[in-house]
Chains A and B, each alone.
Chain A
């Protein structure tokens, strides 16, 4: 068949014949006009074959000439799977066919067609299975046959983003009914968003050449321009979720490649029109077989003559109109086959450049174009997503909405048929109804929202739906002719495959879909669902209504991963000292959302420096909660396992928290700053969780307690000064506090002015096991204090240390870390802190389970040293029974100790192994088994804690 550009400008065309664009197709230069799609430009240049089908590599040409055309997926530059029937032509585009080798013309994979009987539906469940040892080879072979374009891993990231919207009414689809709905809703005062899949509004009016249609389109466009309706073209409402939460993919944004809009619409109007359905017959996928809307688009939008001599198979008025358009474009009409009279097309035969149609009665008609108008499919997806199960109406031969929820309204073809005026009137009535109901929702939302303007008046009543329903035109049920043909063009699934699947027992439509992959390709059912259902119904001898459809799920139109990712927000947190760290060679680690110093080049040297001189570590992420009120002590008694009623002002105590199941939740120190003022610390990773835990208790179980808990984790920069020279260093920068050991003992807290910064507080605690002062500085001055300490300690050998050094030192002291040495099953007593669990207290979190655990042997956390001091087992290495694989515990923390010159560990072991001196077998990740010994104390170094208390 030969396509070509019509010489005369068509009244409805969208191309600008004065603006020529040059591009390449499979390496060869072509020309088109501004306004062409890639496919229309190629068609105008006479191209017929655009792709090869997925399995059999049959040559394919234009079928629908729009977004849903399954034969028009091409590669444009580094963009795979571009829909050439929709993508607008741009100058310099490099377009190529996909899934062909060596070329579109001589695609060797077309040999698949010869072995077609082995490639029936479900072939991958039956072939390439044995022998299993050849699977890697099968995979390589199959990969080269996989459809889809090429991805260039070096493609630069482009800008995608998101936007939230709160329109009153969203109208999905800007055909005549949709536009009228938008205008009417806007006139009623609603904020309206009108979303149109195509590049311009108008729906089917755009390619209707009749005077009345052209005039109506102009009128509707002018009204839209004059209104306040926000219009998005080349955009699709792609998902409808609970409470009218909508996903809208905007492909036409000036800045973003694709933008995902998340809109909370008060009402949704669904006006997507109807999609023309292909007819199933032998040879229905041959280039030259097109739908009637494809013919009308080609002629009326892009001035493309689809062929020289056509056979038109028509069963409705739109097919008749297509015949008229073809005639007007100078195409010879060889025959009109009327489906309403019971005539059919049986098959096509012939070479690529000719289409010989065989029609009912056996007549053969020579042509180069077969135009098919067999019927319409209602794209009910958005209604389905709203919970509606549309119902099939046999006299009208399509599905209609059944009972969508009151905030989702269908109009246009989804609701019925009628004259243009009737469709417009229904659209307008729908828009008014949508606006009225949206007003009721808006009133309610405003009335309920604390920050909103007070809303006046009564809530508007929920308007009843008294729209005059549209009629339903009768239409013959034309799904399959008297031969078998292609049903799913993208997946190469034919009616014969579907009926065979039903015969094999896959006779429910959901099973048949998954077994054959019908409707699972790029057109996602738009063109093939109803034909699939019809084939299954035929195989089962049942009606289409009885078989039903598969469930439509979002997205209705595809969106890129880029749009889903948007800007890729990943919040990170840093302390005020971060600029100093960065300037001083820090190696950072990401801990949750925090960027933390791990070390500054040599963690072992950092450890040695702290133990000999003095070091500073930035521990700002340490969770800090400010507790105030007369009932704080009660709260502490509830949260911790130990007793807090008698903590004097100025003292600090360690506490362990358990959850209601007795499992260790968190730990930390809490200090009393005043009569009714305490500061609690938590682990860094537990900070947020513990705050929510506390709020839960206070709000839901103890609402009468008078306590205020405020997180101040980042209000203070926290600096731990540790080492034998720590007191000397701190005293050089501190005012107002006597730091001598007699005046300021271990586990006490003071407020002070440090480096001129008032309002600091400091306490003596000892995670690292060295003499240490932890200083909490108002964060805006944190960097200043850190730098002052660094300057003041130069002659003392002060240096920074990071998390890695801190972890080594705490391990040397045997201090467990919640979440590292404990897990989701570790009960309180397993930590060895049994004496801190005061069961004679009143109710506290975890008490019942902790009480019931008394006397029960539990796995225990113990200190472990491998017999070979140079072996550092990987954390999580299993502890096993001799040469067997019976697991008796695991290593939870493990490091080489620079202080002791040997490896040290903490681990969990079964209760019978917990005694000091017990010999263990550790299974390394290399498979080797090595010996280790349980130590008497958790601390490998300075077990009596002399350094701490100095």
Chain B
């Protein structure tokens, strides 16, 4: 048959927003994301190097998020993710390791800008201050009434946040984020991580 069809994001509708501005929202749902589960203090945990609540930028370019005790999200370019994930289930035979492709199961958005946390304050009850949510922090919380995984991942010193939600909520959450961001002149930027 023909080549593999393209990945379609759950965000099928966007809106006219301001066209240039400091606060941007990007749909990165097509990003390759893998879910890895293993014991929180075993060899796999050691190799992934991101204890619960923190994240690590791997040398190959993938981002490893310690999203739960014993659970990680690895995301990035397909090759970079494969580098992190390949072979980990063989690392420790005494540990049950699961790695599954979660690319399709999660919508992913990135919010970037000096007022990103002011915008998130409208839809999420976490404490966004630097000591409580520093660059690299990972947590899970309700955003506009949808449970999401969140990671702070600053870009060149500019505050930036990754927001993961169940795919089926993708359009709804995208709309809710634009609604929250309008006050700050949010623009929808090009898709991608």
Is B20 in the interface zone, CB < 8 Å from A? Answer: no
Residues facing B in A769-810 (CB within 8 A) are 778-784
B53 with A450: CB separation less than 8 A: yes
Point out the residues of chain A lying under 8 angstroms from B113, CB to CB: none
Is B62 in the interface zone, CB < 8 Å from A? Answer: no
* Residues A161 and B122 in contact in the complex (CB < 8 Å), given A451-B138, A594-B168, A630-B96: yes
B96 with A757: CB separation less than 8 A: no
Smallest distance from the beta carbon of A701 to chain B beta carbons, Å? Answer: 18
Residues facing B in A158-205 (CB within 8 A) are 161-166, 191
* Residues A165 and B132 in contact in the complex (CB < 8 Å), given A576-B10, A708-B98: no
Point out the residues of chain B lying under 8 angstroms from A162, CB to CB: 122
Is A714 in the interface zone, CB < 8 Å from B? Answer: yes
Most buried by B among A455, A573, A712: A573
Point out the residues of chain A lying under 8 angstroms from B132, CB to CB: 166, 445-446, 449, 451-453
B168 with A781: CB separation less than 8 A: no
Is A361 in the interface zone, CB < 8 Å from B? Answer: no
Most buried by A among B126, B129, B139: B129
Most buried by B among A449, A452, A578, A579: A452
Complex CA gap A542/B60 in Å reads 81
B104 with A569: CB separation less than 8 A: no
**Which of B1-9, B41-49, B74-82 binds A?**
B1-9
**B-facing mask of A603-623, CB < 8 A → 1, else 0?**
000000000000000001100
**A-facing mask of B94-108, CB < 8 A → 1, else 0?**
001010111111100
Point out the residues of chain A lying under 8 angstroms from B183, CB to CB: 255
Is A706 in the interface zone, CB < 8 Å from B? Answer: yes
Is B92 in the interface zone, CB < 8 Å from A? Answer: no
**A-facing mask of B152-183, CB < 8 A → 1, else 0?**
00000000000000111101110010011001
A777 to B, closest residue via Cβ: B104
Point out the residues of chain A lying under 8 angstroms from B180, CB to CB: 161, 567
Complex CA gap A716/B100 in Å reads 13
Is A575 in the interface zone, CB < 8 Å from B? Answer: yes
Residues facing A in B65-117 (CB within 8 A) are 96, 98, 100-106
Is A628 in the interface zone, CB < 8 Å from B? Answer: yes
How many pairs of residues, A versus B, come closer than 8 Å at their CB atoms? 146
Point out the residues of chain B lying under 8 angstroms from A455, CB to CB: 131
Point out the residues of chain B lying under 8 angstroms from A422, CB to CB: none
B39 to A, closest residue via Cβ: A706
A451 with B53: CB separation less than 8 A: yes
B169 with A450: CB separation less than 8 A: no
B171 with A715: CB separation less than 8 A: no
**A-facing mask of B130-151, CB < 8 A → 1, else 0?**
1111100111000011100000
Is A661 in the interface zone, CB < 8 Å from B? Answer: no
Is A735 in the interface zone, CB < 8 Å from B? Answer: yes
Complex CA gap A570/B10 in Å reads 17
Complex CA gap A578/B8 in Å reads 12
Complex CA gap A712/B100 in Å reads 10
B35 with A716: CB separation less than 8 A: no
B52 with A779: CB separation less than 8 A: no
Is A629 in the interface zone, CB < 8 Å from B? Answer: yes
A714 with B137: CB separation less than 8 A: no
**B-facing mask of A255-271, CB < 8 A → 1, else 0?**
10000001010000000
Q: Which of B100, B134, B138, B167 has a CB less than 8 Å from the CB of A779?
A: B167
Complex CA gap A70/B132 in Å reads 45
B37 with A710: CB separation less than 8 A: yes
B140 to A, closest residue via Cβ: A451
Complex CA gap A271/B169 in Å reads 44
B137 to A, closest residue via Cβ: A451
Is A460 in the interface zone, CB < 8 Å from B? Answer: no
Complex CA gap A262/B121 in Å reads 10
A452 with B1: CB separation less than 8 A: no
Smallest distance from the beta carbon of A316 to chain B beta carbons, Å? Answer: 44
B168 with A756: CB separation less than 8 A: no
Complex CA gap A735/B96 in Å reads 32
Tell me the count of chain A residues lying within 8 A, CB to CB, of chain B. 60
Is A90 in the interface zone, CB < 8 Å from B? Answer: no
A261 to B, closest residue via Cβ: B121
Point out the residues of chain B lying under 8 angstroms from A165, CB to CB: 121
Complex CA gap A569/B105 in Å reads 22
Q: Which of A450, A735, A759 has a CB less than 8 Å from the CB of B52?
A: A450
Point out the residues of chain B lying under 8 angstroms from A299, CB to CB: none
* Residues A628 and B172 in contact in the complex (CB < 8 Å), given A755-B1, A780-B7, A781-B5: no
Complex CA gap A127/B192 in Å reads 71
* Residues A715 and B1 in contact in the complex (CB < 8 Å), given A455-B131, A781-B7: no
Is A12 in the interface zone, CB < 8 Å from B? Answer: no
Point out the residues of chain B lying under 8 angstroms from A573, CB to CB: 166, 168-169, 172
Q: Which of B98, B103, B166, B168 has a CB less than 8 Å from the CB of A628?
A: B98
**B-facing mask of A676-687, CB < 8 A → 1, else 0?**
000000000000
Complex CA gap A820/B123 in Å reads 35
A714 with B179: CB separation less than 8 A: no
B129 to A, closest residue via Cβ: A166
Is B124 in the interface zone, CB < 8 Å from A? Answer: yes
Smallest distance from the beta carbon of A739 to chain B beta carbons, Å? Answer: 15
B152 to A, closest residue via Cβ: A451
B98 with A710: CB separation less than 8 A: yes
Is B54 in the interface zone, CB < 8 Å from A? Answer: yes
Is B59 in the interface zone, CB < 8 Å from A? Answer: no
Point out the residues of chain A lying under 8 angstroms from B145, CB to CB: 569-571
* Residues A714 and B166 in contact in the complex (CB < 8 Å), given A451-B133, A780-B103: yes
Smallest distance from the beta carbon of A732 to chain B beta carbons, Å? Answer: 11
Is A91 in the interface zone, CB < 8 Å from B? Answer: no
Is B30 in the interface zone, CB < 8 Å from A? Answer: yes
Q: Which of B30, B130, B172 has a CB less than 8 Å from the CB of A453?
A: B130
Point out the residues of chain A lying under 8 angstroms from B129, CB to CB: 166, 191
Complex CA gap A716/B124 in Å reads 28
* Residues A784 and B5 in contact in the complex (CB < 8 Å), given A451-B138, A594-B168: yes
Point out the residues of chain A lying under 8 angstroms from B176, CB to CB: 567, 569
Using a CB–CB distance below 8 Å, which chain B residues touch chain A?
1-5, 7-10, 12, 29-30, 35, 37, 52-54, 96, 98, 100-106, 121-134, 137-139, 144-146, 166-169, 171-173, 176, 179-180, 183
| Among all A-B residue pairs, the 5 with the closest Cβ atoms | A715-B105, A450-B53, A451-B53, A573-B168, A780-B7
Listed A/B pairs (6) with beta-carbon separation below 8 Å: A164-B121, A262-B125, A451-B139, A571-B146, A715-B167, A779-B104
Using a CB–CB distance below 8 Å, which chain A residues touch chain B?
161-166, 191, 255, 262, 264, 442, 445-446, 449-453, 455, 567, 569-576, 578-579, 594, 620-621, 626, 628-630, 706-708, 710, 712-716, 735, 753, 755-759, 778-784
Given contacts A161-B180, A715-B105, A779-B104, 11 further A-B contacts (CB under 8 A): A451-B132, A451-B139, A453-B131, A571-B146, A576-B8, A629-B96, A710-B98, A715-B104, A753-B1, A781-B7, A783-B8
